[in-house]
Structure 1
Amino acid sequence: MDDAHTKNEAESLAIQMKDSKFLVSLVFWHDLLSQVNFVSKELQRDTMDISAGISSFEKLCNWLKTYREKGFQEVLIGANELAEDLDVTPVFQTKRLRKRKKQFEYESADEAFSDPEEAYRVQCFNHVLDKALQSLGPRFEQSQKHASLFGFLCEFKNLPKDTIRKSAANLELALTDVKLVQENEQVSTVKSLDINGYMLCEELEALKPILPSDCRNPLQILQFLAYNNRSTAFPNLFIAIQIFLTIPVTVASGERSFSKLNLIKTYLRSTMQEDRLRSLAIMSIECEVMKSLTLGNILKDFAEQMVRKIKF
């Protein structure tokens, strides 16, 4: 009985998978999720900063807008090629339109689509892309605000001094912490400044002629100042770039690293000691370093250290 039920269910699924609408949806979701997955991995890189993250986000939004206007025909072509490989006729099945009950008299009747492909494009293809564009905006509002504040640090070489001075003043205001202090029944305000906007502008102007041409992003500028012992000569710029680079674009990379501990403990339970747990956690978190190591060399070093030589 179970085998017959499973067989019927598998046959019905096979028939549905050969449906033209399913093939079109398969190609459509593959294109969409591939682009989203690529940008997601880009944002989770350790060297990713907000300016580069905003650039990747804008490219994804532009791709979605272009794909919404011109991508449906490409999806149909890909679905037709897939249907030929499966020996299936790529034809949309026409379905009867279900009438929606009116709640009010002034509501208009549902407009029927004579072409099922056009109905799919309007009701599914465009609808999904519109929702994707609407959901991406609020996720990056805070990052866009940070990029507007710190963005001049990436482009100061090509900016006039007046623009740099104005941007530095806005950054100084954003990084100012105002506290209320009560002394002798009097309340006063105390400002704590992380940077000085005027001095930051002067430091950027002084850095322009000596900064190498290959230093194009904030990380390279920070490394140039640190490796050449010039952090004390440009203190405000050094602090501003450090704050800029420590603002996370996403938290997925950090969450994935910390979740390794639970995975290791679940797999090995409580059969190991603390030293082994700590070592496995470090190996799991630093997996990129582990991939670059050669197992044969490690085993050779281990054998040389653990070998017991007996003198006769």
Structure 2
Amino acid sequence: MNLPSKMLQSEKIDLLAAHDQLRKSLLSIEKLRNQFDSLLTDVSEICDKWKIEKTFLKKRMRKVKIHFDKLSQDERFDDPEQPNSPKSELKIEADKFSKTFPVDVSSSFSAQLFSVRSTFSDEMKDVKELAYFLIIQNASLSSSYPDVCTDLLMFLTVPVTTTKDERSFSKLKLIKNYLRSTMQQERLSSLSLSSIENQRARVIDSDKVIDQFVSVKNRQKIF
């Protein structure tokens, strides 16, 4: 399970790839659950061989507070082929999406979606391919299906995780410690930005930056 966790933390992964990874992980877990008896037998044999006590650790059940806007149970994707979903189910989900984002998508989103589905079924193999077909290759079609194009852009630009942001906050603890308690906000922000964007910082020519800094200071002295 470590590989899906690492892939979900990648900056380049999109929602579709993340969904596929989570679906594979779910299938693996379900497979292990179906083979629980055989796994228990294997574990028991290993415990007998190594003289290990065969008892499960009983942990205290944690009670999690349920907020008013939290779902009562996990919502799973039963059908991985979303474009091939039944028309009624697809309309319900499209109407739900338009109500959730009324500023970005109009109420005619479901009608546009059905039109795209019936007209460009061959181009609906992948979300990226469909977006490239509607927005890049046939830019004139974007005016006919504005809500679908907006939906595609939202899907492709929404980040899967906030790992990079969390790492950015952890950098602050490394930069401003008790030995650097007198550091001002401007210098702290500059050092944090350099540490967070370290890949770009390595490419910058430091000698060129120093020369520009010196020229600016000399110009101030002249004036």
TM range (shorter): 0.5 to 0.7
- Bigger RCO (CA 8 Å, 6+ sep): 2
Whichever of the two has the greater Rg, that structure is 1
Question: Partners of 1:71 and 1:42 in 2: how far apart?
Answer: 30
Residue 116 of structure 1 is matched in structure 2 by 48
Could you tell me which of 127, 131, 134 is aligned with 1:218?
127
Could you tell me which of 109, 115, 138 is aligned with 1:202?
115
Residue 93 of structure 2 is matched in structure 1 by 171
Residue 188 of structure 2 is matched in structure 1 by 277
Q: Normalising by the residue count of structure 2, what TM-score does the alignment of the two structures yield?
A: 0.59
Q: Normalising by the residue count of structure 1, what TM-score does the alignment of the two structures yield?
A: 0.45
Unpaired runs of 5+ in structure 1? 1-35, 76-111, 128-137, 179-190
Residue 236 of structure 1 is matched in structure 2 by 147
Contact 2:104-2:150 within 8 A present in 1 as well: no
Offset, 1:278: 2.4
Question: Partners of 1:232 and 1:269 in 2: how far apart?
Answer: 55
Is 1:54 aligned with 2:2?
A: no
- Percent identity reads 24
Is 1:141 aligned with 2:74?
A: yes
Question: Partners of 1:203 and 1:220 in 2: how far apart?
Answer: 13
The 5 Å alignment of 1:38-117 reads: 38-64=3-29, 65=31, 116-117=48-49
Offset, 1:262: 4.2
Contact 1:177-1:193 within 8 A present in 2 as well: no
Q: What per-residue deviation string (whole Å, max 9, x for no partner) do you get for residues 251-290 of structure 1? A: 4443223443344333773444444322222233334444
Offset, 1:55: 2.1
Contact 2:9-2:163 within 8 A present in 1 as well: yes
Offset, 1:116: 1.5
Offset, 1:123: 4.0
Closer, same or farther: CA 122–232 of 1 in aligned 2, 3 Å: farther
Offset, 1:225: 4.3
Offset, 1:241: 2.1
Question: Partners of 1:250 and 1:235 in 2: how far apart?
Answer: 27
For the residue of structure 1 that corresponds to 2:99, the secondary structure is strand
Is 1:298 aligned with 2:205?
A: yes
Structure 2 counterpart of 1:169, one-letter code: K
Closer, same or farther: CA 119–289 of 1 in aligned 2, 3 Å: farther
Offset, 1:174: 1.5
Question: Partners of 2:165 and 2:81 in 1: how far apart?
Answer: 24
Contact 1:43-1:249 within 8 A present in 2 as well: yes
